Every structure is written in structure tokens, then in C-alpha cells.
Structure 1
């Protein structure tokens, strides 16, 4: 169902209710990415939705049947609706100076093109691609399209509706933060590339163990500790891994229980593998008994 809801922007970031990030999705009328015919924007703060803005847009361009088949918007739907030039100030108020999420950078390119075509200033914002976030948070998924992610994460979603797509992409970010423990600032930073794993000591109580780590990189302090005790630190969980070692105080945390490495270890164990999943306290107890 096509709707037009134009909520006023919230007060900007000096307001304590300002969003941590906003999410935008656009639909286009034809192959030209500037031909925006629908905009949806959703703001999130502290893991909850705090505002939504949606409007149909007269693209001042032609509609192609291919695009209409995808999103259901045709030329007669946008008669009397504002042009992009008309809503530019509202979109800018929501995005400018904030972190803006989009599922792929199609929407970033479409906004930039629409600004040029309609002779409006470029919108200055910090972009975050929720596809990149999803690939890092759930690397074992077959694909990271928004519909697939919504089904996997239990997010209500109506594909190719700008407001629904924006809302779903926002929940992907919220759930990725919960799943990984990484903050929004962490996701904005370039991903750290782990260095080589430390070499195993020639002898020690963990000699012969092949340990994969969950919650710390392969070159972190926990990796150096177990390597000094004779274990070989593995890059990832595999058929020859003997221990999945979960860093941190709570190895049974919900986010860790559903981590791909944990699920892979469980699968190897069900198939008869000798892999054990231990927390740091379990490791200490094991060493105490040796």
C-alpha cells in the first residue's frame, strides 16, 4: 500500500533525543538513479526506532515498466506529490551531520544524482553500508540481500517499499551491534586486519591442542597465552580444531551462542568431531587439573 507520511524532523544532535543513526532508502522511476519516486527515512536511538519519514516523490522523469513492476509505483501515483527539490531541505535536515545507513550505496548515489539534477546542494553525512555490516556480522549466510537478512533475523519487511526497506536495514544494524558487541563507532571504523597468529611453544600443557578463538583476534592476548602453553592458534574453526575458546566472562551469552564459529563447532561435534567449546574459566580449570 502506498502511503505518504511527512513527519517533521526531530531537533538535531544537540537534542538528547536525536538519533544515533538514520537509515534511508529510495525507489526510482527508471534506469536513471536520479529519478527518485519514493523516500523512506527512519531514525534509531539506543536500539529503538525514534522517528519515521516517508513520501512519494514526483521524479520529473519517466516511469519504466521494469521499475514499476518492482515497487508498484507508477506515474499516476505521484501526481501532485512534491519533487525532490521540494523535499531536499527535509531530507537534509534528517541526514546532515549524522551517520546515515543504506543497504548498499545505491541510495547514496541516487541522492547525489538527484541533488545534481535538481540543482540542490549535496547532503553532507557519514555513510555506513549495512551490507558490509551484515557480511561481517553473519559471514556464513548464503547472501546478504535485505530480504534474506530480514527472514534470518525475524524482521518484519515489505521489500521495495522505501520506508519498510529503511526500517529493516536499521534493524540489521541494531541486531549486528547486539550480535557482535561492536558499537556504531566500531562499525564506522575501518575493520582491523588481524596479524599472524603467534607460534606455539615447543612444549606446554596445551601441546597438541588446536585452538580457535571467539571474541578475540588470532593475534590478541588470549592467543599469545595459549600459544605460550603449547597450543596452535587456528585462523578459524575447522575439522581439526580441538577447542573453540570463547573469550570474556560469559561464554553462554546469547550473541555468542549464535555466532557462526559457535554453530560450526556444534555441527562438527554432532558429526563426531572431538572439538570442545570452553570459556576462559573452563580453560583455567583444565590447566589446574593438568
Structure 2
């Protein structure tokens, strides 16, 4: 494991600290491992920078947490007390972490790493690191809602990303690739991922016990899941789902959503087309066409 950085540096207390930030980055990613149940006990740090979907620098170091190592944590990441002998403390590593993160968008897979850094800063009387945080778990849940889990090792298998779980540098690199792939998959840019998502509406209506759509799992594009269209579809026996997933059987394009390039660019439509191309039984239908179909069934 190394203590290298990709930018020019000066030596402060024998620790390499970036003098100048690397070329403008889209975001950086950080992952930390801890020695015990105290989140301040950081024993490894990994940081990776991304620009235009490409890794631009990587930094990794072991850290002497000045704390005990629990057997539970060691079994997870493989780091024990012997590995950190002679390694820098968090107080010494803080300037490097601060130089890479401050003023940037920082990705972490869950907010554990954010909390660990804050706790370590408080413990060592270091200044808090001022950065804009983006949770790649939240990104993954929005990009691939159909997955049964959004743990990092599950996501990397799904995306085909090389990954050594619970190694700080590998975890940081993998979390960065989750964001890169999510941007490519959904068309949502980085600013979009940082914007809070408006809730789609209230609770979806319960499906009627019988009807021509009984057994269908329906996602609706262009109308709230508790609105008039949803109640009409549920009244025909269908279950209303929040988004298109592997169990969805129908995507209904509401009349409020003009069919055209805006529909074709939407995540729900693109996901339904992907499922169709993969052999799934999911139908894409406009609200008008569905209403006409149900009218024919009722009049038959």
C-alpha cells in the first residue's frame, strides 16, 4: 500500500501534501476502513478523482488509528495492529484528505465515511472538511430500483466492475464507477444527482380484488402514483408500482405526458425498453390505448 498522490507536493512532517489541486474534477470519492466499533478509528483511507467518467488520480494510505483493533473489523478488511505500525496518524493524514476533498463534490457509498471523517476530525481537533457529499447508495437505488440490494459488492457484480470489497481504494474506485455508470444509464448529470428528488406522490391505491388488469404490475409515466389515472388502473385490478423494474408488466404513458422524445429520454421508458430487449414480458402502452382496450373488454 502506498502514500502517493498525483499532484505536486511539499513535505510537511514527512507527509506528502498536495500543493495544487489536480485539474478540475467532476467529483472525488472517499472510502475509509475502521479498526473497531468507534467510527473515529480510521485505519485506511482511499481517495479517487474522476473527470468525464475517467479516473484521474488515486491516493491510498494505512492510518494508525491510535485505537484498538477488534477481531470483527479485522475479519472484514484484513487490517490489524501490526499493519499500521509506523503509519501516519489521522492528524497527519488530515491535510491530504482536506486538500483532495475541500470545495469539491465528494462521493461515498453511504454516509458512514462522512460520519467517520467528522468523528476523527473532532477527536483530533482538526478542522471539519468542507465538501458537498453525494451518497452513491442513493444514486444506485434511483438508477437501478429493481436490484434486491444496493451494497457495493452487489452493484459491482451487476455492473461488471472489478472490485476488492473492504479495501478502501478499491471501494472508492467502485463507488465512483457506480456514479459514472448511473449518469450514463439514466442521462441524469451530476447536478441532477445532487438535486433532491421530488416525491412522486402519496400512497398508491390498492388494486381491486378483480378486474381485467388483475395480476398486472403497472408503472405510470407522467402522472402521480396516487392520482386519477392510478386509481382508474388500480380499479381494474392492477397493482401500481413506483418505477419500472424486473417484475413490472406494464408501463402506461399518461395523457398528461405527450408521447415523443421526452418520453423516449425518460428513465422509465428506457428501462422498459431494456427489459423488452432482454426478453422480459413488459408492455408499453399509452393511457388512451389502455382505456380503449378496457372499454372493448367491458362491452364484449
Calculate the TM-score normalised by the size of structure 1: 0.73
1:248 aligns with 2:246: no
Q: How does 1:83-162 map to 2 (within 5 A)?
A: 83-162=89-168
Which of 11, 18, 24 is the equivalent residue of 2:20? Answer: 11
Residue in structure 1 matched with residue 187 of structure 2 by the alignment: 181
Shift of 1:130: 0.2
CA RMSD of aligned residues (A): 3.4
- In structure 1, stretches of 5+ residues that fail to align are 197-210, 220-226, 279-290
CA distance in 2, matches of 1:90, 1:44: 17
Query: How many residues get paired?
Result: 245
Residue in structure 1 matched with residue 59 of structure 2 by the alignment: 53
CA distance in 1, matches of 2:139, 2:57: 22
- In structure 2, stretches of 5+ residues that fail to align are 8-17, 203-217, 234-239, 287-300
Residue in structure 1 matched with residue 33 of structure 2 by the alignment: 27
> Quick check: 1:213–1:247 contact (8 Å CA) kept in 2?
no
> Quick check: 1:11–1:18 contact (8 Å CA) kept in 2?
no
Q: Deviations over 1:69-125 (max 9, x none)?
A: 110101010110000000101100000010000000000000000001111010010
- CA 1:186–1:249 in structure 2 vs 1: closer, same or farther (change >3 Å)? closer
> Quick check: 1:10–1:18 contact (8 Å CA) kept in 2?
no
Shift of 1:192: 2.5
> Quick check: 2:153–2:163 contact (8 Å CA) kept in 1?
yes
CA distance in 2, matches of 1:86, 1:250: 52
Shift of 1:19: 1.2
> Quick check: 2:42–2:63 contact (8 Å CA) kept in 1?
yes
Shift of 1:68: 0.7
Residue in structure 2 matched with residue 262 of structure 1 by the alignment: 273
CA distance in 1, matches of 2:262, 2:42: 49
Calculate the TM-score normalised by the size of structure 2: 0.71
CA distance in 2, matches of 1:10, 1:100: 19
Residue in structure 2 matched with residue 38 of structure 1 by the alignment: 44
Shift of 1:11: 3.3
> Quick check: 2:220–2:252 contact (8 Å CA) kept in 1?
no
Shift of 1:242: 6.9
Shift of 1:265: 5.2
Q: Deviations over 1:34-69 (max 9, x none)?
A: 000000000000110000000000001111111111
1:193 aligns with 2:199: yes
CA distance in 2, matches of 1:18, 1:167: 18
Q: Deviations over 1:181-232 (max 9, x none)?
A: 0010000010133469xxxxxxxxxxxxxx9666xx437xxxxxxx9xxx98
Which of 79, 84, 88 is the equivalent residue of 1:78? Answer: 84
User: For structure 1, which segment, 17-26 or 143-152, has the greater mean C-alpha deviation from structure 2 after superposition?
Assistant: 17-26
CA distance in 2, matches of 1:89, 1:100: 16
- CA 1:106–1:213 in structure 2 vs 1: closer, same or farther (change >3 Å)? same
- CA 1:186–1:53 in structure 2 vs 1: closer, same or farther (change >3 Å)? same
